[in-house]
């Protein structure tokens, strides 16, 4: 593997997830040489959707010169039925089914995007010879003025900067800063993925979702929700989730990895709670249906990397972005949005760094812009996660109090 000749050493981006692709699309746009690598094949389906927020997607679209309607038409979960990812986060009481309008949490402009389509939106904008799927980074060699990425197929590539965008279990981080580890938070999310005929979805859930691409209910120390992944005239793919406080398994150690759950385990995890639910949540968690779903449980993790650790790697030509440096719990977190914005901010800094031939200062200025945002993002998401699992009486009182105002 060799970089394109007659151009300066490229930026090497490890990880074609949200943060790496956001950065790559902007480097391509600005003509800054780069290569991006991912362990997985391009065809890998990501199987879930994500809430995109204005403070992340607007800077991206402005920098790329893409119109918001065109972006939504490319990535929204329900574009095949004429939608644009509309999201109304109308909380319901899971035990009565009633709406709790006072607790509505829609803030600013936001919509639901399909993760696979989002990746494709980015990859289509990249020169094919700069994107390398099925290419796993195994080591990083710090060369002084440059940096070399080593891959499992034995190939190597030298770059002027290596961007660790390889997610919460980052290989780059574990090689260079092994002491910076995610911490496990005492909450577990159980998730199922399901495909149903559109007529069945409309009949069973249409009256509750009211056109929104998600539905969320608060229960007694638990949250139950549904997120549309892909809505077409024929079928609707959606994921359901049930979250509760506490680690999965009998010990913290047991619950560190996301894993496929057996239907027995999932049925038994939701049986008690299901009995106390109103429709449509009771039906959502019905035993017969769960047995046909793809099932997972997700540990909730967060990661803070001390500033001095990221700072000292500037001299080694390595910069961290996305979940590799600031993971937030997937539920209640905004890690994907922060990842998008990281790509935008780093590309902006690198543009100046290339013009002034000073990449170190460019990375420094990126950290100056982004680091505080990451810390606040992680802190806020941990707090939201903690607040979500309250007794139902607390939720009801909160709703009444807000209604009375």
Ligand X SMILES: Cc1cc2nc3c(=O)[nH]c(=O)nc-3n(C[C@H](O)[C@H](O)[C@H](O)COP(=O)(O)OP(=O)(O)OC[C@H]3O[C@@H](n4cnc5c(N)ncnc54)[C@H](O)[C@@H]3O)c2cc1C
Can you give the binding site for ligand X, defined by CB under 6 A? Answer: 14-20, 37-40, 48, 50-51, 136-137, 165-167, 171, 322-324, 330, 333-337, 339
- Nearer CB in complex with ligand X: 227/399: 227
Q: Is 128 buried (19+), middle (13-18) or exposed (0-12) by CB count in 10 A?
A: exposed
Task: Give the nearest distance from C-beta 385 to ligand X in angstroms.
Answer: 13
Q: Which structure tokens are listed for 303?
A: 């990661």
Cα distances (angstroms) measured from residue 296 to each of 27, 73, 260: 35, 29, 4
- Nearer CB in complex with ligand X: 38/382: 38
Task: Give the nearest distance from C-beta 339 to ligand X in angstroms.
Answer: 4
Give the helix/strand (H/E) hosting 310.
Answer: helix 307-312
Asked whether 322 and 303 are in contact (CB, 8 A), the reply is no
Task: Give the nearest distance from C-beta 56 to ligand X in angstroms.
Answer: 8
- Nearer CB in complex with ligand X: 40/278: 40
Asked whether 347 and 359 are in contact (CB, 8 A), the reply is no
Angle at 330 between CA 197 and CA 68, to 5 degrees: 70
Asked whether 295 and 261 are in contact (CB, 8 A), the reply is yes
Residues 6+ apart with CB under 8 A from 226: 205, 209, 214, 215, 216, 238, 239, 240, 241, 284
- Nearer CB in complex with ligand X: 219/336: 336
Task: Give the nearest distance from C-beta 364 to ligand X in angstroms.
Answer: 21
Give the helix/strand (H/E) hosting 140.
Answer: strand 137-142
- Nearer CB in complex with ligand X: 91/399: 91
Q: What is the largest CA-CA distance in the chain?
A: 69
* Core vs surface per residue 208-217: b (16+ CB within 10 A) or e: bbeebbbbbb
Task: Give the nearest distance from C-beta 136 to ligand X in angstroms.
Answer: 4
- Nearer CB in complex with ligand X: 79/300: 300
- Nearer CB in complex with ligand X: 50/359: 50
Closest Cα partner for 224 from 276, 147, 172? Answer: 276
Q: How far, in Å, CA of 190 to CA of 237, rounded?
A: 17
Which residue has the CB atom at the shortest distance from ligand X? 17
Task: Give the nearest distance from C-beta 337 to ligand X in angstroms.
Answer: 4
Task: Give the nearest distance from C-beta 3 to ligand X in angstroms.
Answer: 17
Q: How far, in Å, CA of 368 to CA of 327, rounded?
A: 18
- Nearer CB in complex with ligand X: 95/113: 113
- Nearer CB in complex with ligand X: 104/358: 104
Q: How far, in Å, CA of 352 to CA of 315, rounded?
A: 18
Task: Give the nearest distance from C-beta 19 to ligand X in angstroms.
Answer: 4
Task: Give the nearest distance from C-beta 154 to ligand X in angstroms.
Answer: 14
Task: Give the nearest distance from C-beta 276 to ligand X in angstroms.
Answer: 25
Give the helix/strand (H/E) hosting 114.
Answer: strand 110-114
- Nearer CB in complex with ligand X: 165/187: 165
Asked whether 192 and 46 are in contact (CB, 8 A), the reply is no
- Peptide bond before residue 280 is cis, with ω within 30 degrees of 0: yes
Give the gyration radius of the chain's Cα atoms: 22
Q: In the Cβ-directed half-sphere of 51, how many Cα atoms lie within 13 Å?
A: 24
């Amino acid at each position: 593997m060799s970089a394109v000749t007659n151009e300066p050493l490229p930026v090497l981006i490890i990880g074609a997830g949200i943060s790496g692709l956001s950065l790559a699309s902007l480097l391509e746009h600005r003509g800054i040489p780069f290569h991006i690598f991912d362990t997985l094949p391009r065809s890998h389906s990501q199987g879930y959707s994500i809430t995109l927020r204005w403070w992340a997607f607007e800077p991206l679209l402005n920098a790329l010169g893409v119109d918001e309607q065109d972006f939504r038409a490319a990535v929204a979960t329900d574009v095949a039925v004429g939608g644009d990812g509309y999201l109304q986060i109308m909380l319901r009481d899971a035990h009565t089914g009633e709406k709790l309008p006072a607790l509505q949490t829609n803030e600013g402009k936001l919509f639901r995007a399909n993760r696979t389509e989002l990746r494709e939106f980015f990859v289509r904008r990249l020169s094919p010879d700069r994107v390398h799927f099925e290419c796993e980074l195994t080591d990083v060699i710090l060369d002084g003025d440059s940096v070399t990425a080593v891959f499992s197929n034995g190939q190597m590539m030298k770059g002027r900067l290596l961007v660790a965008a390889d997610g919460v279990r980052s290989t780059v981080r574990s090689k260079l800063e092994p002491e910076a580890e995610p911490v496990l938070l005492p909450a577990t999310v159980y998730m199922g993925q399901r495909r149903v005929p559109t007529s069945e979805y409309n009949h069973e859930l249409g009256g509750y979702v009211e056109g929104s691409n998600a539905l969320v209910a608060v229960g007694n120390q638990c949250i139950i929700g549904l997120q549309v992944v892909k809505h077409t005239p024929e079928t609707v793919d959606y994921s359901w989730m049930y979250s509760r406080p506490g680690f999965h398994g009998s010990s913290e150690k047991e619950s560190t990895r996301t894993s496929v759950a057996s239907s027995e385990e999932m049925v038994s995890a939701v049986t008690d709670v299901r009995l106390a639910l109103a429709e449509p949540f009771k039906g959502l968690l019905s035993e017969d249906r769960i047995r046909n779903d793809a099932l997972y449980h997700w540990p909730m993790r967060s990661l803070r990397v001390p500033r001095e650790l990221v700072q000292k790697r500037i001299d080694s030509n390595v910069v961290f972005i996305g979940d590799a440096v600031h993971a937030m719990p997937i539920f209640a977190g905004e890690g994907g949005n922060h990842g998008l914005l990281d790509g935008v901010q780093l590309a902006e800094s690198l543009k100046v760094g290339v013009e002034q031939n000073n990449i170190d200062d460019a990375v420094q200025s990126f950290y100056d812009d982004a680091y505080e945002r990451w810390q606040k993002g992680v802190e806020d998401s941990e707090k939201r996660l903690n607040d979500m699992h309250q007794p139902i009486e607390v939720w009801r009182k909160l709703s009444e109090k807000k209604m009375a105002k």
